[in-house]
Structure 1
Amino acid sequence: MKPFWIVFVVLVAAAGGGYYWWNHQAAAKSQGTEASEKAEGKAKGRKGRGGPVSVRTITPKRQPMPVLIDAVGTVESQHSVAVHPQVSGVLTAVRFKEGDYVKKGQVLFEIDPRPMRAAVEQSQAAVRRDEAQLAQARAQEERLRSLVDKDYITRQEYDVAATSAKSLEATVNANRAALDQAQLHLAYSRIVAPISGRTGSLGVRAGNLVSAGTGGSPLVVINSTRPILVAIPVPQRHLDDVRKQWGSLDLKVEIAADRGEQTLVEGRLIFIDNAVNPATGTILLKAEVPNEKEQLWPGQFLAARIVLRIEPDAMVLPEGAIQPGQEGPFVFVAADGRARVKDVVVDRQIGEQVVIAQGLEGNERIIIEVPPTLAANSPVVLAGESGRGKGKGKGKGKVNAESAPAGAPSGASEPATQEAAKTEERQ
């Protein structure tokens, strides 16, 4: 019986191994077929999409561009005055509204004038009394002078009369000064605007007792706004350029609400500080702006742009052509049917235009509107190319292309299309 069971086990094992081998071969064949179909579909899909990426290019422009200094400026008043009363008394009237624009000499406040008017009248009475006494003393001095010359009276009697006249004269002068002071205090009961400008919030209302002097809070603060100043701290490396240009002409300063936005007003540079701030490494400049429409307000932070000069032949590219990189900005250049990477040095940006300092010759075809999938050495075809392939993906399309003018999308060249076709064949 043992040989029988041995033969039976061998036969079962052989059958199981054959079944497993047959299943494995079928699965492998099925997977190979699917992979082949997918690969063929992908290849056909790539051929259907055309392979190379279609791009638009321009050549760098040469044009005049301003040389600028961009900074953040702070608006400040040319004159700021805190109005304090110069006499004490009860505030009876406020002749303006908070925030009004007032002119120099305009009445702002009134203090009860009755005490000051009484003081004026008292001083006037004292002056009249002393003037009458002085007239009498002078007349007495004249009579005694003629008598002393004839020795009818003693010299001492005459000297007493002369001294009395001089004393009364001094008293009259003192009373006149007191009268002037009283009249001045009466004038101070009407508080007028010392400058033209915009008023702030009121520090006191009518009916309150105010005291002369500057110890307390001001009645109101007036800031001049026409014209107005913009304080602009700039890095010290710009100091030489600013001084050279400022010495030969007025430097224009453009003021905007934020960098890149439309210019609100223009002014001119009027001040360069006499020392660099050692804590920040900046030099303070100030520009004067007419501000007739009061677009600038004291305390505002604004974008300031100082126009140093005009560079007559700057190399310019649109902002979209510049790509950020870990080692600095770069551009894609279409050359030999490929997207080549070229590092550039950006000097400045003005609006949507970028001035290139280094990295380009000026005749390159710079790719603009860069597709997100574009990478270094990717095959590209210039927008506007068209071609027909012969055969099943092996034909070489023949293209006629013309060069685009500087700054406009360019056409394609025949070698670029042939290179793209070869790439497609290899895929």
Structure 2
Amino acid sequence: MIFAVTTAACKKEQVRAGGPPPAVPVTVAKSELQAVPTDIRAVGSVEPYSTVQVKSLVAGPLMKVLFAEGSDVKAGDLLFEIDPRQYREALRQAQGAVKRDEAQLRQAEANLGRDQAQLKNADADAARYAELVNEKIVSRSQYDQYKTNADALRESVRADQAAIETARATLETDRAAVERAKLDLSYCEIRSPLSGRTGNLLVNVGNLVKANGDTALVVINQISPIFVSFGVPQQQFDAVRRSSQGRRLPVMAKLQDGDRKSAQGRLSVIDNTIDATTGTIRLKAVFENADRLLWPGRFVDVSMTLGTIENAVVVPSEAVQSGQKGLFIYVVKPDQTVDLRMVKTGPAVNGKLVIESGIANGETVVTDGQLLLRPGAAVKAVSGVKTGEQGS
């Protein structure tokens, strides 16, 4: 039980003549065991999960804008239309070139077939005349004429084969031009690469858009899920790394406005270096943010739970005082006198402090009236108004 005391009553007791020093009225509380979460607190900033600057991959007049500024869009939604006429014409030209190349290829193949047939006949004539020359039936000059004709047709066949290879290469080049023209034509329709929220429209209808220009048409932020980025001192890095092994640490982000609404997330990224200028390491937590509570650029109070201290000794925060030698607490002994204990404190939670050393479970500590105490002073627990709230 916690009791209250008045300074006025204390002063009246002190002025009484004779007898032992009067007992000092104080409020007290019992130390107790609790399971205390160990938290790291910081100020963080909300960042989009991903950001895309939407630009055009082709040049031309901007014909249509098919979304409202500041609206939600889904991946694949049509956002802009660029004038497609010049790209349709380029596609038709490329398709015409392909048809021309196909015709040239067929012509080259027909020439090859004709010359191969002629070569076969010329080879047969040359073979017959070779036998006739051996039998002295025809002259050598007649044989040479047929052999030369066969050799010429053989070279024609080689030329036809080269023409076919050239036609096939040209055909492949023009087919690639068709695919490129189709791709350029598809770029005239600019679609959202992700689901998110659009910002302000940066280029209006009627403007000439450059291919991959310096200015984006619109910026899209993905805000569900969303990141909260925050830094922690390098002294806490080892504790964060140990606690995050095999699990994702819970993180709470609380708004800094009057409502103090909060969102729950998980630690997702530990930066790969410590900032030498600030001595901190950057962390990122991811939040589902289905209710859009968190907004890019907003500052939030971050609390990350590393674990839980089981059976921790806790006392009210007001029981811990600061002196020249450090932190101390007045402990009420069974004879109703006080003992000054130097203590080492741990984390704070819900108005209470963890006492790592100096206090045991179940001991009575003074929570108000410490200014009138010294080691060995007699005290009495008093209910009522706290010290300083009532006059003499």
| Alpha-carbon distance in structure 2 between the residues aligned to 1:45 and 1:305 | 47
SS at match of 2:49: coil
State, as a whole percentage, how many aligned pairs show the same letter: 37
Q: Which residue of 2 aligns with 1:315?
A: 313
Alignment-mate amino acid for residue 145 of structure 1: Q
- Offset of residue 258 of structure 1: 4.6
Q: Which residue of 1 aligns with 2:61?
A: 90
Residue 63 in structure 1 maps to residue 60 in structure 2: no
Q: Which residue of 1 aligns with 2:192?
A: 193
- Offset of residue 332 of structure 1: 4.3
Worse overlay, 233-242 or 173-182: 233-242
Q: Which residue of 2 aligns with 1:249?
A: 247
- Offset of residue 374 of structure 1: 4.8
Structure 1 residues 82 and 281, CA gap change in structure 2 (3 angstroms): same
Structure 1 residues 352 and 361, CA gap change in structure 2 (3 angstroms): same
User: What TM-score, normalized by structure 1, do the two folds share?
Assistant: 0.71
Residue 294 in structure 1 maps to residue 265 in structure 2: no
Query: Which of 61, 73, 83 is residue 112 of structure 1 equivalent to?
Result: 83
Q: Which residue of 2 aligns with 1:345?
A: 344
State the Cα deviation string for residues 12-68 of structure 1 (Å, max 9, x = none): xxxxxxxxxxxxxxxxxxxxxxxxxxxxxx979988xxx866543211110111112
Structure 1 residues 360 and 331, CA gap change in structure 2 (3 angstroms): same
Structure 1 residues 179 and 384, CA gap change in structure 2 (3 angstroms): closer
Give the conservation status (yes or no) of the 8 Å contact 1:341–1:376.
no
| Alpha-carbon distance in structure 2 between the residues aligned to 1:326 and 1:188 | 73
Q: Which residue of 2 aligns with 1:376?
A: 373
| Alpha-carbon distance in structure 2 between the residues aligned to 1:245 and 1:43 | 55
- Offset of residue 300 of structure 1: 2.7
Q: Higher relative contact order at CA 8 Å, sep ≥6: structure 1 or structure 2?
A: 2
| Alpha-carbon distance in structure 2 between the residues aligned to 1:379 and 1:147 | 131
- Give the 5 Å matches for 1:121-140: 121-140=92-111
| Alpha-carbon distance in structure 2 between the residues aligned to 1:43 and 1:240 | 55
Worse overlay, 200-209 or 221-230: 221-230
Residue 99 in structure 1 maps to residue 98 in structure 2: no
Structure 1 residues 74 and 91, CA gap change in structure 2 (3 angstroms): same
Query: Which of 73, 78, 81 is residue 49 of structure 2 equivalent to?
Result: 78
Q: How many positions carry a matched residue from both structures? A: 338
Structure 1 residues 360 and 261, CA gap change in structure 2 (3 angstroms): farther
Q: Which residue of 2 aligns with 1:207?
A: 206
Q: Which has the larger radius of gyration?
A: 1
Q: Which residue of 2 aligns with 1:27?
A: none
- Offset of residue 210 of structure 1: 0.7
Structure 1 residues 113 and 325, CA gap change in structure 2 (3 angstroms): farther
| Alpha-carbon distance in structure 1 between the residues aligned to 2:265 and 2:303 | 10
Alignment-mate amino acid for residue 284 of structure 2: K
SS at match of 1:272: strand
| Alpha-carbon distance in structure 2 between the residues aligned to 1:44 and 1:176 | 106
| Alpha-carbon distance in structure 1 between the residues aligned to 2:120 and 2:324 | 112
Alignment-mate amino acid for residue 372 of structure 2: A
Structure 1 residues 43 and 56, CA gap change in structure 2 (3 angstroms): closer
Q: Which residue of 1 aligns with 2:170?
A: 171
Give the conservation status (yes or no) of the 8 Å contact 2:44–2:229.
yes
| Alpha-carbon distance in structure 2 between the residues aligned to 1:330 and 1:259 | 35
Q: Which residue of 2 aligns with 1:34?
A: none
SS at match of 1:77: strand
State the Cα deviation string for residues 48-89 of structure 1 (Å, max 9, x = none): xxx866543211110111112222223223322111110000
State the Cα deviation string for residues 287-318 of structure 1 (Å, max 9, x = none): 22222222222233322222111111111123
Alignment-mate amino acid for residue 129 of structure 1: R
| Alpha-carbon distance in structure 1 between the residues aligned to 2:41 and 2:258 | 10
Give the conservation status (yes or no) of the 8 Å contact 1:75–1:230.
yes
Structure 2 residue runs without a partner (length 5+): 1-10, 17-21, 123-149, 385-392
Alignment-mate amino acid for residue 164 of structure 2: A
Q: Whose strand proportion is higher, 1 or 2?
A: 2
SS at match of 2:95: helix
State the Cα deviation string for residues 67-116 of structure 1 (Å, max 9, x = none): 12222223223322111110000111111122222111111111111111
Alignment-mate amino acid for residue 345 of structure 1: K
- Offset of residue 275 of structure 1: 2.6
| Alpha-carbon distance in structure 2 between the residues aligned to 1:364 and 1:280 | 42
Q: Pairwise CA RMSD of aligned residues?
A: 3.0
SS at match of 2:158: helix
Q: Which residue of 2 aligns with 1:361?
A: 360
Residue 269 in structure 1 maps to residue 287 in structure 2: no
